[in-house]
Each structure stands twice: as structure tokens, then as C-alpha cells.
Amino acid sequence: MAAASHYEQSKEFPPLDSVTGGRSADLWKWLQSRRDYNSKANGLWRIHNGLYNLKEFVQKHPGGSEWLTMTEGSDITEAFEAHHPNIAYIREKILPKYYVRDADWPRESPLTFTTGGFYDKLRDRVRVTLKRLGPGPRRWTNFYADASALLFEGALGALAFVGPNVFGPGNPLDLGLGWTVGLSIGTGLIGGALVVMGHNFLHMKDNKRMYYTNIAGSSYRMFRIHHALSHHMYPNTSLDVEYPLFEPTLHFWPEMPRRKPNLLTNALAFQWFLVRSTPLFYLLKPVLWLTGTLRLPADEYLYWLNTFAGIGIRLFATQKLLGWSTVASSNQSLAYYLGISAAQVIATNTVVAAVVSIYTGNIGLYAGHHADYIWRQGDLYQPPLDFGLFQLEATADRVDVYNKGLLPVITTFGDHTLHHLFPTVDHAYHTYLYQDLAETCKEFNVRFEFTNYRDMFLGFYRSLARTNRTEHARRVGWDGKGYAGWVDPNMGTSGAHTTKEE
Ligand SMILES: [Zn+2]
Ligand SMILES: [Zn+2]
């Protein structure tokens, strides 16, 4: 924070209804709302109190230009601080070149990055550890992601051949409806895991593996907005645009009217929401493109290209197998044949897309934020506003995936707190950072506990039905009341926590 303060630092996040004009899930509106708040910046980027003209720098940004083009004219303090472990170098050597003037209005977010504060100290430790470990991503993360991508592509290709003849005659390998649905579900599960693995890479500087998210029907670009720039920086607050993504199906805020107060109706509504959302979007995307409603960059259509490739492969293979004469003559014209295979491939790929959606939705929403014992804006207890301490209160970690190897972590959003604190760090490294976290927790007298999948799952539905607000700190300055969950035994040896019995 080089510049002098001309204003009162914001004390709280904006009210729940104020961002994007009232709980809107429109990501571009969300980006616009952040520009609107900083309209006096006139298109400059804000970091702490300083305004910087990064236009010349956009193309030089080692992380890729998109991060900066998306955030032009807005406050990027949190992203700037959390995405660069070597922050001191950038702050001192690069940033001053682009400084224009100071801002004279408060930042929208109240989060702080005080020198000598929790996050600052932790990041210093982590920087040293990362230096020792060498540059990411790790070989095994790459391997798992690449292998899953190959498997997914292979399975999608196979799905073009094995469908039952419900769409017409001429299927080379008719496995029947049951097997075809089973294979589609299996492919969808691989695709879901692939989206979560691609998520590891979209946080990093531009790289080819971030497209794994798109191959399985999601979008790395949208992920970067709602997840990296919004959710990661401001979890469980009005600036976290991942909340309205599920409205009106899910209501997390006790003060807002809930439509479905009971656990079972919530659970069913959520699953139905997942089943219908992605496939609908998937099926409508080309229509939206053709009508000009939705013109997206070509990489947004990778899943559709998969579908077309499936149709093409099938046509090609059948022609090789049976020859053009068979394909084109008999009772099927080429167009008719193409029609059959297209219908079948689109049908199976729609099932795949639905399963991907169910997988990512169910894994993602029980992963790290939504249980009733985790702080959320509106709770009576106000967490500390140091970025690191704030993240500790708004996230949770499942002991089920802690120290159990890389694969569970990269397919289930594991090691979630460390991932929030250092999003660009490869997931393979988090397990080496717990010691730094434990030491910093000890230094600041913070209790670091684990929860488990079952409790996160139940806590998710309890939080949808709750009417009360959390009154107690869970980690920072924990007073022994309220939720008492898992305490990792390894953390105990470093003395970073107080146990439940004390
Ligand atoms: Zn993430
Ligand atoms: Zn998260």
C-alpha cells in the first residue's frame, strides 16, 4: 500500500441486494457493477488506493491478457495480491511504472492486506516453500488431467457407435439402451472430474489445459469470472456471484424469503436444477449462436465440436466398414443416415452433459463454503478483514481428502482453504503448504480444523433451512462454542490449534 489514504477504508461488504442490481447471476453485469462502483477511475485499474494505467501492459501480462481486459476500470486489489506469490517484486519493480494517481473514494471491498498481517506472513512462508518445490504444475497433476481428457474424448467417440437402434436402423454396435445410458453416465462422471481438474489450470496463467473445462461442456472463461475473480476473492459475501447462479432454486441467506424450507424439497430442487441447466444450455448454444443472441469465442463451443466430431467419426467409420454404396443406397440416403447418427450422438451427449452438471454441482456445493457453521455475510459475527483470516472463516476443509493423495484433491475441490488463499498454486502443492499454514495459525492464535464430507453435505442442506445466524467465530479467536469439528492430528503436533477438550 504505497499511496497515502485519502478515505475511510470500507468496513463491510456492500449490502446483499446491491451488487449487479439485485442478486443477478449475469456475469458480465457483475463485472460491469464493479466498473460502475469505480466509475471515477475512468477505465484505470485500481490496486489499493492507487490507480494504474495497464493498457500498455495488458498484452505483456505473464498471466494472459484476459484477466486484465475483463477487469478494466475496476478494483483488482484482491486478485493482484492473491495471484502473485512474488508480490514484492511486482509491487516494487513493475507496478510503479504504470501509476497514474490516487483514488479518493473507499474501496468497495473491506478486505485488507496489512504488512505483517496474517496473509502477508503466510504468503512470505509459502513463497519460500514454493521456491523450494520448483515451478508448477506438477507432473502428476498434468498426467491425471491429460489421461482424463483422453479417456473422456475416447468415451464420447465410442458413444457414437454403441447406441440402440431407437433412432433408426444401421447402428454398427448395438449395445442396447441400458448399456448406452450406463456408458453415457460413466462418460459424464469422467467429464465432471475433468471440469474440476481443468479448474486447477484456469486459475493459472493461460495454458492449454484450462481448455479441459470447455471440452467437457463448461467454460474456463466464465469460471474465471464467477469463480476466480468473484467467488475466490469474496466467498460468502454479496460480491460472490456464485450464489445467485443457483437462485431462485437455492436460498442461502436467512434474511431472504425461502421458497423451500425442508431438506428433501431442497435436495430434489437442486438435483433437478442441475439436470436441466447444462443440457439446456448445451442444446441451445448453437441456436443462440445462429440467431446472434449469443456470440461467444470459438473455444466456448468445444463440447459441441466434440459432438460433431462424434457424428463425423461414426460416418467415416461406417463408410470404411460398409462402403459408400451401402451408406448412400439401400433404404437410407446419406442425409438420412447422418440424421440418425446425429440424433443419437446428440442424445447421448445430452446425458453426458447432464451428468457433468450433476457431478460438478454436487461436488462443488458441498466442497468448502455452504455448511451452516461457516461464516456468511449477514451472520452476527464479523470475521477479521485481513484477507487470509477472512478466507479461513468463509471456507472449510474436508479431512476425507486431506493427505489422501492428489487424485481426490484435484477431482473434488480439495484443500479448499489453501486453494482460496493461493489460487494459482497447483493443487499438488497444497499438501506441502499446510505446515506454513499451521505455523502462521499458531503465530496468530487461530484454530484450524477440518470438517468432513458428510458434515458438509448435511450442513449444506441445514444452511438452506436455517433461520438463525452464526454468532461465533469458527477459527479466528475461537471461543470454544458453536461448531467443533475435526482437528487434524498433524496440526496438533505443531500446536496450531486448541482442541475441543481444552
Ligand atoms: Zn478455485
Ligand atoms: Zn471456494
Among all bound ligands, the one having the nearest atom to the CA of 419 is: 1
Of these ranges, 99-103, 318-322, 488-492, the one predicted with the greatest mean pLDDT is 99-103
pLDDT value of position 385: 93
pLDDT digits (tens, 9 = 90+) for 127-161: 999 999 887 678 899 999 999 999 999 998 888 87
Among all bound ligands, the one having the nearest atom to the CA of 416 is: 2
pLDDT exceeds 70 at position 406 = yes
CA 289–ligand 2 middle distance (angstroms)? 31
Residue 382 binned pLDDT confidence (cut-offs 50, 70, 90): confident
- Bigger pLDDT: 27 vs 224: 224
**Residue 297 C-alpha from the chain's centroid:** 20
DSSP secondary-structure letter at 494? Answer: H
Average pLDDT over residues 101-106: 94
pLDDT digits (tens, 9 = 90+) for 448-487: 778 888 888 888 888 887 777 777 667 766 555 544 444 4
pLDDT value of position 351: 92
CA 106–ligand 1 middle distance (angstroms)? 27
Domains, the chain, ranges and CATH? 19-110 (3.10.120.10), 119-137+381-456+467-494 (no CATH), 140-365 (no CATH)
Average pLDDT over residues 310-329: 68
CA 419–ligand 1 middle distance (angstroms)? 6
Positive/negative CA dihedral, 219, 220, 225, 230: positive
pLDDT value of position 43: 96
Q: Answer whether 486's CB lies under 8 Å from 450's CB.
A: yes
Which residue in 469, 280, 305 sits closest to 379, CA to CA? Answer: 469
Among all bound ligands, the one having the nearest atom to the CA of 236 is: 2
Residue 417 buriedness (CB in 10 A; 0-12 / 13-18 / 19+): buried
Which residue in 349, 306, 352 sits closest to 188, CA to CA? Answer: 352
pTM, rounded to two decimals: 0.88
CA 368–ligand 2 middle distance (angstroms)? 6
pLDDT exceeds 50 at position 498 = no
- Distance, CA of 417 to CA of 432 (rounded, Å): 13
Q: Scanning the structure block, which residue is given the C-alpha cell 443416415?
A: 337
Distant-in-sequence, close-in-space partners of 217: CB < 8 Å, separation ≥ 6:
191, 195, 278, 282, 303, 352, 353, 356, 357
Among all bound ligands, the one having the nearest atom to the CA of 423 is: 1
Lowest mean pLDDT among 216-220, 431-435, 498-502: 498-502
CA 40–ligand 1 middle distance (angstroms)? 31
CB atoms within 10 A of CB 15: 10
**Residue 396 C-alpha from the chain's centroid:** 15
Which residue in 283, 453, 272 sits closest to 358, CA to CA? Answer: 272
pLDDT digits (tens, 9 = 90+) for 269-310: 888 888 887 776 777 777 777 887 777 788 888 888 888 887
User: Could you give the angle at the alpha carbon of 462 between the alpha carbons of 458 and 465, nearest 5°?
Assistant: 150
CA 423–ligand 1 middle distance (angstroms)? 6
CA 64–ligand 2 middle distance (angstroms)? 22
User: Could you give the angle at the alpha carbon of 20 between the alpha carbons of 390 and 419, nearest 5°?
Assistant: 30
CA 464–ligand 1 middle distance (angstroms)? 23
Residue 492 binned pLDDT confidence (cut-offs 50, 70, 90): very low
Q: Answer whether 174's CB lies under 8 Å from 167's CB.
A: no
CA 391–ligand 1 middle distance (angstroms)? 13
Pairing mode, if any, of strands 45-47 and 99-102? Answer: unpaired
Average pLDDT over residues 405-416: 90
Distant-in-sequence, close-in-space partners of 189: CB < 8 Å, separation ≥ 6:
355, 359
pLDDT value of position 176: 79
**Residue 138 C-alpha from the chain's centroid:** 20
Which residue in 204, 126, 203, 114 sits closest to 387, CA to CA? Answer: 114
- Residue 142: all three cell numbers together: 498434468
pLDDT exceeds 90 at position 211 = yes
Q: How far is CA 313 from CA 24, 103, 282, 324, 335, in A?
A: 41, 57, 20, 14, 15
